[in-house]
Every structure is written in structure tokens, then in C-alpha cells.
Amino acid sequence: MPVFGKSRIGKNCFVDDSALIGYPCNDELKFLKEKPDEIEGCTIGANSTIRPGSIYSKARVGKNTRTGHNFLVRENTIIGDGCLIGTNVIIDNDCTIGDNCSFQTGAYVPTGSKIGNRVFLGPNASLTNDKKPVRTEYRLEAITLMDDVTVGSNATLMPGITVEEGTFIAGGALVTKDVPAWHLAKGYPAIFSELPESLKKPNRLG
């Protein structure tokens, strides 16, 4: 398997031969051919299963991580223990992700996102961080998802919002503003209503 620089892989891991481990980020590409030992590399926690995909240098993924195929974790991103990173999931740079999260096929997490524990992203859920892409000065507005948030398939979250603890975002919803704790967001654009008592409980992850 291609392992770059000073990457560290914990005990009892399965890492597919096609996975790119610790691939150099932009400021390290100059080291790739002549000074490969200068590449910082990534860290993978023990008992992890890493299928074909890429984890960039300076990223850290916790123990008991599981991935699908063709995933990407960019530099300076920190992922907690027990997370599932599904097939074709993209997690950009400088993100912070808690423990026991589950990101399903095709989910997108942009630069700077902050995600708590036991967060579920359904297939093709899309977080965004730029309200006026390529039309104005580059200014990112990161999204925050608190613990036990569920985001349904094909939902879109607009830049800069905070989704509070226990919120459930329905599939296909367009969320344009902060969502209070233990609420349901549904529709296009989303409207909010309080969750029924039967759904006011942590996600069954981990």
C-alpha cells in the first residue's frame, strides 16, 4: 500500500493495498520526490478498516474507523473513534468530527465543518460553506452540527448555520437557518416543528 512520510497506523488495522495513506497536502507536494521523509503523514487509530480511498497528511482518524470505497479525508481534519466513512464520502480540510458518526454514500462535508458525536448523514447529504461561490471575495462560513443530529438523504444545509442537539432533518430538505434542539426540519426551504417525544432520544450509533 502507498504509505507516505511519517504516517502512523494503529494495531490490528486492515488497510487495503490501494489506499493512499498520508498523501501529501499542497504545502508538502514539494517533498514527494526528493524528501519524502519530510511529509508529516496521517494517523489511523487501532482496529480500523480502510478500503481504497485517500487520507491526506496531517489528518487523524480514530480507532475503529470503517470506510467504504473512494472516500477522501483532507488535511488537518480530526475524526473521532468508531466512525463510518461511506463510499464516495468527501470530508474536506480542517474539519472536526466527534465519535460514532455515520456518513453514508456520497455525503459531503466542506472545509471547517464542526460535527459532534453520533451524527448521521444520509446518502448524498450536502453541507455547504460558501453563499456566493466564485462571485465575491472568498469567505467561508462553516456549519456546526451538534450531537445526535440526523440528516436525511439529499438534504442541503446552507453555509454558517448551527443545527442543535438531536435535530432531525428530513430527506430533501433545504435548511437555510439555525435549527433549535430536538426539532424536525422539513421542506424546501425547511420549516421547523418540535419532534414527538418518541424521537427525542440519542441516535443509536456506537
What does the pLDDT look like over 33-78, one tens digit per residue?
Answer: 889 999 999 999 999 999 999 999 999 999 999 999 999 999 999 9
pTM: 0.96
Structural class in CATH, domain 95-199: mainly beta
DSSP letter at 78 equals E
Q: CA-CA distances (angstroms) from residue 186 to 41, 150, 179?
A: 41, 12, 11
- Residue-level pLDDT at 1: 64
What does the pLDDT look like over 106-138, one tens digit per residue?
Answer: 999 999 999 999 999 999 999 999 998 888 887
Instruction: Indicate whether 99 pLDDT > 90.
Output: yes
- 100 pLDDT band, cuts 50/70/90, is very high
DSSP string, 173-193: -EE-S-B-TTEEEEETTEEEE
Cα dihedral 33, 37, 42, 47 sign = positive
What mean pLDDT is predicted for residues 21-39?
94
What does the pLDDT look like over 131-143, one tens digit per residue?
Answer: 988 888 878 999 9
Instruction: Indicate whether 206 pLDDT > 90.
Output: no
Residues contacting 65, CB < 8 A, separation 6+: 44, 45, 48, 49, 50, 79, 81, 82, 83, 84, 85
What mean pLDDT is predicted for residues 16-32?
95
Domain borders along the chain are 95-199
Instruction: Indicate whether 9 pLDDT > 80.
Output: yes
- Residue-level pLDDT at 136: 86
